[in-house]
Amino acid sequence: MRIAVIVFPGSNCDRDCLHIFNSVLGVQAVGVWHRETSLEGFDGVVIPGGFSYGDYLRCGAMAKLSPIMDEVRRLASTGRAVVGICNGFQILLESGLLPGAMLHNRSLKFVCKRVDVRVETSRSSATRGLPRGTILNLPIAHAEGNYTVGEDELKSLEDNDQIVMRYSSSIGEVGDAFNPNGSLGNIAAISNRSGNVVGMMPHPERASELILGGEDGRAIFESFVGWGSGGVR
């Protein structure tokens, strides 16, 4: 299995993701510059966190125009796993690969802390094998993580089991008290209808080794690898 980690000007979590795949999981991963035009030979794609193009215009609005994004769309259309983390989630929204948009956090402040999230489905490439209701403790770090979507689209996400994670308490309670950014319905991660394209605000790469204070994020990368190893679901 071979994973592409896309690198934009301003990406800053690409090396962390490469380390997790190559050194922790023993799966080959390669950084791919955003101006490349082919992802031939890759079995999955990670779009890492950071500040692509300095977050000018809107987060992800310029990155969606990079040449590599046509290949990301092509790979996604084949059913292979595509996961966007934080800025990567914003890029997937701007690219139309996932529905909805990001607003500034309701506090209008950058939020950087650990949160608990409740897994809502095990049919996505990021949560394959994780039972519904599993609680993960993961870091977040963003200024624009306030996910929103129209009423009809929200119903569609719920009806089609596309909500992957919600912010919660440590025992899985979902409510405003556990919502770090004002995200609609405490949504922390969503997928496309097929489940292979996932966007998430938490950073699993910052919680995949005990030396980092926890390894709950490792389960997400293992799920991603499991999806890719088995091919299209």
CB of 177 within 8 A of CB of 170? no
Q: How far apart are CA 183 and CA 194, in angstroms?
A: 23
Q: Are 131 and 119 in contact (CB under 8 A)?
A: yes
Q: What is the three-class DSSP state of 178?
A: helix
The reply to whether 86 belongs to the active site is yes
Amino acid at position 151, single letter: E
Strand partners, 147: 102
Give 100's DSSP letter. Answer: -
48, 16 Cβ separation under 8 angstroms: yes
Instruction: Kindly tell me the number of DSSP H helices and DSSP E strands found in the chain.
Output: 5, 11
Burial of 131 (0-12, 13-18, 19+ CB in 10 A): exposed
CA-nearest of 216, 187, 205, 213 to 21 is 205
Catalytic residue (one of 86, 120, 144, 222): 86
Determine which one of 71, 94, 205, 222 is catalytic: 205
User: From CA 161, how far away is CA 204, in angstroms rounded?
Assistant: 21
Active site residue 205: yes
Select which of 34, 71, 144, 203 is catalytic: 203
Q: 144-159 burial, b for 16+ CB within 10 Å, e for fewer?
A: bbbbebeeeebeebee
Q: What are the catalytic residues?
A: 86, 203, 205
